[in-house]
Structure 1
């Protein structure tokens, strides 16, 4: 899915909010051990994989990630790029001392407890010159919206979802309540307006002219109002959708121009 991620998010590896900004946005930081969920977010949660101690060891990199291939025949260059990209994400997640303290909280432990802030600063400064060519394609992007990953999973992964986060039937159907209630309210308003209009015609025959005018105009206003509100919501959704696509395509084209203009 990595080559198609530009469809779903900003084409930038720096598109990562530091930990304190995650809190400002009201997101709960959830620890995960699955690399594929690292920096995926949904509603008020974001999944973050802790930084393994072995990735902080120069000996580990020298021994396991700088060989030509491993015993299984998998390209070590791919492993090295994935590890480098994952490591680079912490350059953006922890930018301030407040982020560092959040990462070391007991219920998170995103980085080892025995590392101090000055040591981490010296380490993270060495990651400032890592380019996209040195990381795997996944880490050319930052945060990923899990709802979009699930939306595109049937097309790109031939799976019903990328990650199932709703374990109960109630959670699944709860997402449908809002659209269903909106559609039901709109249809009910239109039908009630039509009923008022038909009843008003009967009032005209009974010589209740004032009530007939009020009922007639109220039903027309209700019909027009329901149509305007429904159209506004549809146009608003289309505007947001198209605006995101235009921005995404511009970023994609901008990245291509940057690559083409970079001297070999």
Structure 2
């Protein structure tokens, strides 16, 4: 098998089902979401702007800026089969965001993006994920270059070739047909030209908690996590107070043991044990208070940071309500 042209769609297997169904609108999503020039979320029709919808669907979001730090979030290895995650008590959760595909939480949730229908259409991929003749992919920001979306799409399909390696995995996924035939070709193409895969997908499963830490440290002073886990302050305090209470129980057990030790004759005159007991007692008093203060400061930080946008939205809403009320016709008594 000859090495594929890096500007072309390297696969040749048709897995979209009906080969007579070649209309672009049938393969695209119903809508795609994007942010307009004013920073507001909007929905568009993929059939009217296919390149924009593909950029949105295949975007890695903030993960693209963390590529050099991904070694701290996951090992460089192929994705484990789905049955392995389920056998270890994991939960496979569907998510349509490419940037959280194969992220897993400390609770065992593995986010998996279902395969879009257009990626299984050979004609569609050749028409929309191939660069024009003469493109060297040296300017990936150019409108005509499809290098980055193509590498993301191929890397995404490569993860599915690793996730679904047997009929057990296929029954768990239950998303696409003829996946096993496509997987062989994907692995052959990757073997001859590893560069066709986006670097993000060379590290399959990434730990979400570590990504959040990396994002906070690299986005200073905003200190934003990669995926926000708390959308209400009640959840924020409830989750953090849980581990504070657990740590407090451990501290109480240690203090009780120290108190029993101080009651014995051997440890009553031990200066080292007396000093350790004194230090741990101070820590037991200030530790929970300091932890609760940090959680409170974290909540206040996000409240103050989001206050300007909240006030702007309230001002716009008040102005809109005034405009609507002034436009209402007055009725005669």
Cα distance in 1 for partners of 2:99, 2:144 equals 18
Q: How high is the TM-score relative to the length of structure 1? A: 0.64
| Aligned residue number for residue 4 of structure 1 | 69
The correspondence of residues 21-100 of structure 1 with structure 2, limited to 5 A, is 21-42=84-105, 43-68=107-132, 73=143, 75-100=145-170
Alignment gaps of 5+ in structure 2: 1-65, 281-333
Q: Secondary structure at the match of 1:46?
A: strand
Cα distance in 1 for partners of 2:168, 2:129 equals 32
Once the two structures are superposed, residues 100-154 of structure 1 have per-residue CA deviations (whole angstroms, 9 ceiling, x without a partner) of: 11111xxxxx33xxx2xxx322221101121542111211210011111111112
Q: Secondary structure at the match of 1:87?
A: helix
- When residues 72 and 23 of structure 1 are mapped into structure 2, their CA distance, relative to the original with a 3 A threshold, is same
- When residues 189 and 90 of structure 1 are mapped into structure 2, their CA distance, relative to the original with a 3 A threshold, is closer
After TM superposition, the structure 1 stretch with the greater mean CA deviation from structure 2, 45-54 or 125-134, is 125-134
Q: Does 1:140 align with 2:202?
A: yes
- State whether residues 3 and 137 of structure 1, in contact with CA within 8 Å, keep that contact through their aligned partners in structure 2: no
Q: Does 1:127 align with 2:186?
A: yes
The count of residues paired between Structure 1 and Structure 2 equals: 202
| Aligned residue number for residue 242 of structure 1 | none
- When residues 170 and 23 of structure 1 are mapped into structure 2, their CA distance, relative to the original with a 3 A threshold, is farther
| Aligned residue number for residue 239 of structure 1 | none
Once the two structures are superposed, residues 156-202 of structure 1 have per-residue CA deviations (whole angstroms, 9 ceiling, x without a partner) of: 3455111113334343334434542354345545655666677x5xx
Cα distance in 1 for partners of 2:155, 2:255 equals 57
- State whether residues 85 and 136 of structure 1, in contact with CA within 8 Å, keep that contact through their aligned partners in structure 2: yes
Q: Which has the higher contact order (CA 8 A, sep 6+)?
A: 1
Q: Secondary structure at the match of 1:160?
A: coil
Alignment gaps of 5+ in structure 1: 105-109, 201-211, 228-264
CA RMSD of aligned residues (A): 3.7
- When residues 194 and 132 of structure 1 are mapped into structure 2, their CA distance, relative to the original with a 3 A threshold, is same
Q: CA shift at 1:213, angstroms?
A: 3.9
